[in-house]
């Protein structure tokens, strides 16, 4: 262990204390009352109770309205991404002006009535609101403080910026200003600081179903996994090198951690201005981990309920002439799930997914626009099932096929697989956060779930889902929820079904039933192949499910290989319980 000189330790503590004190001074009663003096971002500790805080005098119940615009500082704006323009990014430097949402209070917790992305008139952003805190502070002249963690989620996409807002209120209403700050994100192409005072109005009043909202929150809180600092893992496993559990550039990481022995050992949530004070409810974008969480799990659940559904063909359920073309008639639902439709432009690794054609799928707001791209972009280049080529469009098309099958089987035209199968059968029973139970959908009457991306989760959700697939084998309370043959193949438990090789990485990586797998045999010097299944998302999101029951997760956004390569964590996790086969 490296030991710092006493004077260096003292200097560091004094600096941190001075930074926090300055931040609280910037947002003291006088500043919150006048709406002046907030000239730059402050340490986020100012948005949470500290040791001097007192129990809240007032209770918040009613609606909060906000208006005005924060100051912004753009750190990165990649206008090459999906052909976004300068005009697009000008919109991204503003926030929605239709913030008018209800909250209720339970003890010291402020609970938003609505969770998940909230549709907005803003051309770029939507709010996601999470439970925050209420408390009193000396010097606030009888007012109570309320802090609300939130995220700005890009409309139609997964780009996520995390922030906190804070106001002072009493029984009659609120001070005229709320402090607003965004200091971190998980978004490869847009990094911004936002800060400043907004105009605030608190409208006290009874909220319908308050008791149910509070009860649901208490259930959510009770269902969260035990969490400890990552440093506590050393006591249980002294041989671990904790530094090797972190990968990639630290400035690109949002959060990482390791689940073992029933505990989530988690890193803090660092930002450019101190640690995020509400780390447990920080919203994380799924990006393509949704291909596993939504498409993969939904397909396995459908196969368990309707055996043979994944052997159905696109041509039999084609919603448009383009999908009824000859190149789609013999493509099975399983081929779509495996990204092996045979319809592609280039077999080179990620060449199609990185091409400008993908914008035709991602940018449209309507199902018709996305469907046009999914069915028309690529020619027939190989027999279905013979070659893996990564296409988000295949996963999106699978969602439409499963919906059409479900409606045909039940005779109910208003059902969809996400709301009618995945949510009641899997996501709700797993007690995922309310945020993770809402999918991005097309902004039209179809409201088609994206399937291949579009979910927002907490770290706790990632772990529960991984545990369900891995150690629980797709079972709940002794009942098999997911098709066992599909799940065993996806999780590399059937050596006769390893899945299609990933182009240019044939000996090391496989992809099967929306789950990736990596052979770590050489890393661990195993005698035979040692496969680790994992979920993967754009920018640097990995949830690895190790055969010894350990789950390791990392959320980053720079897109560099170092942010995906979990070789070092794989070696360290082998020290916990060896997982070489045999």
Q: Which helix (H) or strand (E) covers residue 537, if one does?
A: strand 531-537
Q: Does 364 have pLDDT greater than 80? A: yes
Asked whether residue 38 is domain-assigned, the answer is: yes
**The pairing of beta strand 174-186 with beta strand 190-204:** antiparallel
The Cα 259–Cα 433 span in angstroms is 18
Q: Which helix (H) or strand (E) covers residue 518, if one does?
A: strand 515-519
Residue 20: predicted pLDDT: 67
Domain boundary among 436, 454, 472: 454
Same structural domain, 187 and 317: no
Domain boundary among 216, 234, 254: 216
Q: How many domains does the chain have?
A: 2
The arithmetic mean of pLDDT across residues 63-72, rounded, is: 97
Asked whether residue 468 is domain-assigned, the answer is: no
Residue 82: predicted pLDDT: 67
Same structural domain, 63 and 191: yes
Same structural domain, 54 and 191: yes
The model's pLDDT over 451-499, given as tens digits with 9 standing for 90+, comes to 999 999 999 999 999 999 999 999 999 999 999 999 999 999 999 999 9
Asked whether residue 228 is domain-assigned, the answer is: no
The arithmetic mean of pLDDT across residues 217-245, rounded, is: 96
Confidence of residue 540 (pLDDT cuts 50, 70, 90): very high
**Closest C-alpha to 466, from 286, 281, 309, 336:** 286
The CATH number of whichever domain residue 301 belongs to comes to 3.40.710.10
Same structural domain, 311 and 178: no
The Cα 476–Cα 196 span in angstroms is 47
Residue 269: predicted pLDDT: 98
Q: Does 428 have pLDDT greater than 70? A: yes
Q: Which two tokens stand for residue 317?
A: 């359920």
The Cα 362–Cα 493 span in angstroms is 34
Same structural domain, 294 and 376: yes
Residue 21: predicted pLDDT: 67
Same structural domain, 203 and 292: no
Q: Which residues lie closer than 8 Å to 178 by C-beta, 6 or more apart? A: 66, 165, 166, 167, 197, 198, 199, 200
The Cα 382–Cα 44 span in angstroms is 53
Asked whether residue 261 is domain-assigned, the answer is: no
The arithmetic mean of pLDDT across residues 361-375, rounded, is: 94
Confidence of residue 11 (pLDDT cuts 50, 70, 90): very low
Same structural domain, 177 and 301: no
Residue 153: predicted pLDDT: 97
Kindly give the residue spans of alpha helices, DSSP state H, lying in 365-483: 367-376, 392-410, 417, 459-469
Same structural domain, 203 and 90: yes
Share of the chain above pLDDT 70, in %: 96
Domain boundary among 423, 454, 485: 454
Q: Which residues lie closer than 8 Å to 14 by C-beta, 6 or more apart? A: none
Share of the chain above pLDDT 90, in %: 90
Same structural domain, 338 and 427: yes
The Cα 464–Cα 457 span in angstroms is 11
The arithmetic mean of pLDDT across residues 156-163, rounded, is: 96
The model's pLDDT over 170-193, given as tens digits with 9 standing for 90+, comes to 999 888 999 999 999 999 999 999
Asked whether residue 127 is domain-assigned, the answer is: yes
What range does the domain containing 81 cover? 28-216
| 373 and 399 Cβ atoms separated by less than 8 Å | no
The Cα 199–Cα 181 span in angstroms is 14
Q: Which helix (H) or strand (E) covers residue 302, if one does?
A: helix 297-305
**Closest C-alpha to 212, from 135, 111, 134, 119:** 111
State the Rg of the chain over Cα: 24
Q: Does 1 have pLDDT greater than 70? A: no
Q: Does 535 have pLDDT greater than 70? A: yes
Same structural domain, 67 and 210: yes
Residue 8: predicted pLDDT: 43
Asked whether residue 479 is domain-assigned, the answer is: no
Residue 18: predicted pLDDT: 53
Asked whether residue 325 is domain-assigned, the answer is: yes
Q: Locate the DSSP E strands across 385-502.
A: 456-457, 475-476, 479-480, 500-501
Q: Does 307 have pLDDT greater than 90? A: yes
Burial 250-273 (b: 16+ CB within 10 A, else e): eebbbbbbbbbeebbbbbebbbeb
The model's pLDDT over 95-144, given as tens digits with 9 standing for 90+, comes to 999 999 999 999 999 999 999 999 999 999 999 999 999 999 999 999 99
Residue 507: predicted pLDDT: 79
Same structural domain, 417 and 311: yes
| 159 and 84 Cβ atoms separated by less than 8 Å | no
Sign of CA dihedral 149, 154, 158, 159: negative
Confidence of residue 505 (pLDDT cuts 50, 70, 90): confident
- pTM of this structure: 0.94
Q: What is the mean pLDDT of the chain?
A: 94
Output the CA–CA distances (angstroms, integers) from residue 389 to 311, 348, 511, 514, in the order listed.
Answer: 19, 8, 10, 12
Q: Which residues lie closer than 8 Å to 378 by C-beta, 6 or more apart? A: 343, 344, 345, 352, 357, 391, 393
Residue 2: predicted pLDDT: 26
Same structural domain, 297 and 182: no
The arithmetic mean of pLDDT across residues 26-45, rounded, is: 96
Asked whether residue 260 is domain-assigned, the answer is: no
Work out the widest C-alpha separation in the chain, in whole angstroms. 75
């Amino acid at each position: 262990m490296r030991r710092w000189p006493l004077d260096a330790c003292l200097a560091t503590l004094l600096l941190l204390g001075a930074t926090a004190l300055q931040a609280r001074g910037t947002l003291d009663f006088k500043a919150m009352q006048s709406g002046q003096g907030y000239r730059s971002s402050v340490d986020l500790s100012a948005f949470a109770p500290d040791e001097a805080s007192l129990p809240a005098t007032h209770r918040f119940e009613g609606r909060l309205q906000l208006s005005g615009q924060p100051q912004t500082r753009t750190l990165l704006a990649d206008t090459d991404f999906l052909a976004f323009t300068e005009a697009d990014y000008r919109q991204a430097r503003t926030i929605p002006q239709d913030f008018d949402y209800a909250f209720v209070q339970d003890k010291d917790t402020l609970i938003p009535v609505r969770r998940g992305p909230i549709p907005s008139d803003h051309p770029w952003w939507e709010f996601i609101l999470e439970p925050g805190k209420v408390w009193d502070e000396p010097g606030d002249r009888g007012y109570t403080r309320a802090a609300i963690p939130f995220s700005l989620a890009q409309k139609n996409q997964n780009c996520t910026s995390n922030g906190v807002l804070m106001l002072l209120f009493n029984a009659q209403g609120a001070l005229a200003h709320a402090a607003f700050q965004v200091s971190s994100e998980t978004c490869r192409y847009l990094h911004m600081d936002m800060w400043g005072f907004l105009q605030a109005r608190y409208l006290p009043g009874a909220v319908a179903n308050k008791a149910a909202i509070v009860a649901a929150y208490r259930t959510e809180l009770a269902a969260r996994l035990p969490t400890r600092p990552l440093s506590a893992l050393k006591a249980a496993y002294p041989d671990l090198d904790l530094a090797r559990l972190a990968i990639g550039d630290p400035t690109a990481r949002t959060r990482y951690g390791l689940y073992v022995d029933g505990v989530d050992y988690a890193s803090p949530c660092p930002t450019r201005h101190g640690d995020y004070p509400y780390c447990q409810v920080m919203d994380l974008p799924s990006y393509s981990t949704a291909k596993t969480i939504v498409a993969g799990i939904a397909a396995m659940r459908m196969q368990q309920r309707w055996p043979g559904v994944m052997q159905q063909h696109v041509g039999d359920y084609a919603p448009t002439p383009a999908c009824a073309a000859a190149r789609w008639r013999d493509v099975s639902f399983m081929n779509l799930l495996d990204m092996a439709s045979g319809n592609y432009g280039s077999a080179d690794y990620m060449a199609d997914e990185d091409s400008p054609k993908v914008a035709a799928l991602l940018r449209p707001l309507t199902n018709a626009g996305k469907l046009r791209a999914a069915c028309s972009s690529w020619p027939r280049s190989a027999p279905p099932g013979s070659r893996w080529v990564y296409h988000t469009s295949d996963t999106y098309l699978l969602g439409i096929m499963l919906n059409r099958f479900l409606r045909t089987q039940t005779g109910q035209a208003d059902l969809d697989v996400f709301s009618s199968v995945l949510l009641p059968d899997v996501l709700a029973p797993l007690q995922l956060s309310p945020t993770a139970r809402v999918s991005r959908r097309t902004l039209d009457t179809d409201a088609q779930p994206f399937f291949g991306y579009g979910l927002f989760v907490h770290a706790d959700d990632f772990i529960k889902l991984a545990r369900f697939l891995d150690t629980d084998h797709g079972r709940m309370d002794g009942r098999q929820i997911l098709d066992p043959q599909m799940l065993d193949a996806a999780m590399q438990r059937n050596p006769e079904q390893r899945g299609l090789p990933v182009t240019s990485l044939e000996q090391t990586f496989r992809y099967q039933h929306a789950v990736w797998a990596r052979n770590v045999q050489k890393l661990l010097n195993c005698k035979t192949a040692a496969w680790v299944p994992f979920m993967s998302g754009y920018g640097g999101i990995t949830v690895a499910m190790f055969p010894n029951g350990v789950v390791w997760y990392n959320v980053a956004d720079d897109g560099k290989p170092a942010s995906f390569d979990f070789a070092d964590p794989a070696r360290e996790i082998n020290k916990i319980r060896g997982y070489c086969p045999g």
